Amino acid sequence: MPSTGILRGAAAALAAVMLPCAALAAEAAPTLTIHAQAFQPGSITIAAGQRTKIVVDNKDALPAEFESNDFSVEQVIPGGTALPVYIPPLKPGSYKFFNDFHPSSTGTLIVRAR
């Protein structure tokens, strides 16, 4: 039977590995809602230099197309659907996005240094 010291060491090693994983899992993806053909909130902030998942939740009955010429992303979001959209690693700054099916519906992605 292993000694208590060995078990404590193994438990500490396991915790050191699992705690960062749990923190990442607990970090929810930012959600951008489309309602009445408008993005809510009008801007979201993400960290620079890493691929980021956001969730676009289209509450409208009509489809929308989340699009950005600034960071080259296009994703059709059917009405009543929430889908993930993956933002590529970006440098700090402000980037515009819009609903290609309703171009007056726009928003801003703010990318901050970590």
- What digits encode the pLDDT tens for the residues 58-74? 999 999 999 999 999 99
Confirm whether 16 is domain-assigned.
no
pLDDT at 9 over 50: yes
Enclosing domain of residue 41: 29-112
Confirm whether 89 is domain-assigned.
yes
Confirm whether 11 is domain-assigned.
no
pTM above 0.85, yes or no: no
Domain count, the chain: 1
Confirm whether 20 is domain-assigned.
no
Share of the chain above pLDDT 90, in %: 75
Residue 50, token pair as written in the block = 């890493």
Confirm whether 95 is domain-assigned.
yes
User: Residue 92: which CATH number?
Assistant: 2.60.40.420
Confirm whether 19 is domain-assigned.
no
Indicate the average pLDDT of the chain: 87
